[in-house]
A and B are shown apart, each in its own frame.
Chain A
Amino acid sequence: MSAEPDATTKLFFREAIVRALGEEMRRDEGLVLMGQDIGAFGGPYREFDGLHARFGSGRVRDMPVAEGAMVGVGAGYAAAGGRALVSITYMDFLMLALDPLVNYAAKLRYKTGGQLHAPLVVKTTAGAKGQGVAHSQCIEAWMMGVPGLKVVAPSTPADAYGLLKSALREDGPVLYIDHKRLFPMAGHVPVSESCVPLGVARVERAGGDVTLVGHSWMMVPVLAAADRLETEGISCEVIDLRTLAPLDTAALCASAGRTGALVTVEEGQLTCGVGAEIAFRVHEAVPGIRAARVGAAPAPVSSNPVLEAAVVPDADRIVAAVCRLLRGKP
């Protein structure tokens, strides 16, 4: 019996990932998964649980600690007619693999005049969760300016499932970013197989006074801030970017055009950040827009819990930024 079209089932975030990977592995026999500890161990966050047993060590490959080679091998395998997902445990380590991702995979179709392309997903995990200065960073903004590279960062199990499936059907490289704090989160995922298109933001809740924009784990403090602002009589329209490259500029401008005010929220640095890019794009289309950015303090993210919290944005700071913007007071 087939499920109702809108029927959903409750899955943990990591389970949504396992399901997406399993379905795409079944659908595309050329798809190979590569990474550290993704085999019988099941992935650092159990987000590869059971896949090794189902698909074998030829298609679910544990790799040595060699991020550059992991992405390079994945890119070469993909370019030669396969498809690869490479798991980089923490986004901080992606820095070791930028050459094959940025210099090779992202440019491959262009530089070969369309002869080759690299259907490659680099899946990684960003964000602060007590692990210190080289295990906590959110550097997605660095990647948004690479021509040929798409960047996605879901905040819900449903989007993790649907965006990962879409990423695994792309012709070119996609950077897919989870957040450590999202893995234990549960949410409703469609029962029937489905994809979430890349490049489409979601209006998480409608409102009239200000547009709040975030992605990934930041959607949690953003929504908490919107709840609190509601009690103070400020109606927030909340947008989850879902895809960072290409940005859904049209959706952002439409919302900000209605509300007249924009607050961007990101866990990474503000300088040349996601918010800076969004604010300027909206400013170009919506002259006179009032805008503010919330992001990390300009400091490394310590494993020290007091200092970590001092760096990373929270609902208090988002509320304060909105109030400052709308009322001109702290």
Chain B
Amino acid sequence: MTLPDPALLRSMMLIRAFEASLMARKDHGFQLLSSGQEAVSVGLCAALEPDDQLLCSGRSIGPALARRLDPNRVLAELLGKEAGYCSGRGGRGHMAAPARGFFGAHAVVGGNLTVAAGVALRLQGEGRSSLVACMFGDGACGSGALHETLNIAAIWRLPLLLVCDNNQYSVSTPRAAALAPARLSDLAAPFGIRGMTVDGMDVQAVRDAAQALAATVRAGGGPAFLECLSYGFTAHSTSSRESRPRDEVAAARDRCPIRGYTEVLMRSGVVDRTQVAEMTREIDIVVAAANRFADDAAFPSPADVLLNVG
């Protein structure tokens, strides 16, 4: 067990405030939010080193900010501005900043799993102790790509940490109706891959598990599988209808990872109410600056539509 860390709280608060400000914009576009699921990205990224690479699904805002990408450039990318990390070409679904350890999102469910194994093969060949972490939703656990990736990663003992952000739904389909295993981390067992399931609403539990598994991966123990039981506070995407039972959503909001961790930090005397308020103010400034930055940034020129195609 490691000590409570206010940096984890700040990172989760940033994601929440950033997404709230994005949703307040009329031009927010098609987004998949991480609000409610912040603890998974933040807990995982606390276990990553600068030289590691993180890949994720199209639910990329939480992972990108948790990986300490510049909020200005993240928002610019989400809004399609040239100042974004991918010059506005990737958007949420394909956000990437490999130089900052964020190899990137891929919006095809399960599509990034095999790619992550390939990145891990490259790191393994370079003989470094770096690892590749790949986040995916529970929906990806129904894909053949996961089975194929587990098999190859196990055979080749790849430095790959697979992290399932299990928010209980594939759009509208409840996890129980779509996936047979009792725990999704059980999927790793037949391949001899170490698996764990933790409370994904508890950032410290995610961080501790991610650190423990990352240590075995770095030590050459081969891949590991971490399932984080989470819940999104909003519907699958900004364009999908809310189909989940109202009381279920309300119950999840009662387990808000930010409120829960604030209480943990205050109870243990790491922060007080004033410091939390100060943190909130500082984040509001960062988020406001990101919005100004993105507003001031230009869209790409239509004349550049063929840039970087081939």
Contacts and interface: CB of A to CB of B under 8 A. Distances in A.
A154 interface: no
Interface residues on B, range: 35 or more
Contacts of B309: 109-110, 147-148
Given A68-B114, A79-B119, A82-B122, A113 B87 contact: yes
A58 B310 CA distance: 29
A77 B152 contact: no
Interface in B258-297: none
B249 interface: no
Contacts of B206: none
B104 interface: yes
Interface string B17-60: 00000000000000000000000000000000000010000000
A103 interface: yes
* SS of B interface (majority): helix
Contacts of A109: 308-310
Contacts, number: 132
B90 interface: yes
Interface residues of A, number: 37
A84 B90 CA distance: 24
A80 interface: yes
B84 to A, nearest CB: 8
Contacts of B85: 113, 115
A295 interface: no
B125 A82 contact: yes
Interface in A98-121: 99-100, 103-104, 107, 109-116
A78 interface: yes
A81 B88 contact: no
Interface in B157-178: none
Given A64-B148, A73-B152, A80 B308 contact: no
A101 to B, nearest CB: 11
B138 to A, nearest CB: 19
A74 B116 CA distance: 10
A112 B113 contact: no
Given A64-B155, A100-B111, A112 B96 contact: yes
